[in-house]
Each structure stands twice: as C-alpha cells, then as structure tokens.
Structure 1
Amino acid sequence: MIVDPAAILTPAPLGHNDLHVAMKRATHRLGVVRLGPPQPVLAALAELSRR
C-alpha cells in the first residue's frame, strides 16, 4: 500500500523514480491512499486501470 503519493513525489528530485519503485514492488494488488485530488501522473494511471 502506498500512503500519500504526493509526499513521495514532491520532496526529492527522484520522487517519480521512488514512486515507480514503490508501485512496481506490489506482487498482487496495489492500494493507494491519498488526500485530495490525485496528481496528474496518478490520474492517468487510474484512467488506464478502468479500461
């Protein structure tokens, strides 16, 4: 489970890489808990998963 992906994306210049690694480590299911609207990167992934 990833909690608050915005906190992963913002602090470091490698935030996108860190989030990618966290998402790829899931073996069966991935849960994301966030506050507020999703970041554009995550919104695009949500659209892909609905197809």
Structure 2
Amino acid sequence: MTDAGKYLSISRTKVYELINSGALESVTIGRSRRVSVAQLQRFLKSQS
C-alpha cells in the first residue's frame, strides 16, 4: 500500500479508506493487499 500511496501522492491510511469504500479495487494475496498499476491509473482518470 505504500507504493500505491506514493503513486497517488496520498497516505497509506487514505489508500485503505479508498479500498474499503470501493473507490479503489485491490486483490488480497495471502495476508497482503495489492493494487495493480492499471487500477491506479483508472482511479486517477476517474478523479479528473
């Protein structure tokens, strides 16, 4: 989530808030969450 936060210029906490609200899609692998670069780009486009 740290890398996703850097990509979006937001905090890790905000990334989790976006995931929990459904605004940002993620995939759970084991105990970690992953957000694809394509999903980050879609999110940025939707915010413009």
Q: Same fold (TM over 0.5)?
A: no
TM-score (norm 2): 0.32
Higher relative contact order (CA 8 A, sep 6+): 1
Structure holding more helix per residue: 2
Larger radius of gyration: 1
TM-score (norm 1): 0.31
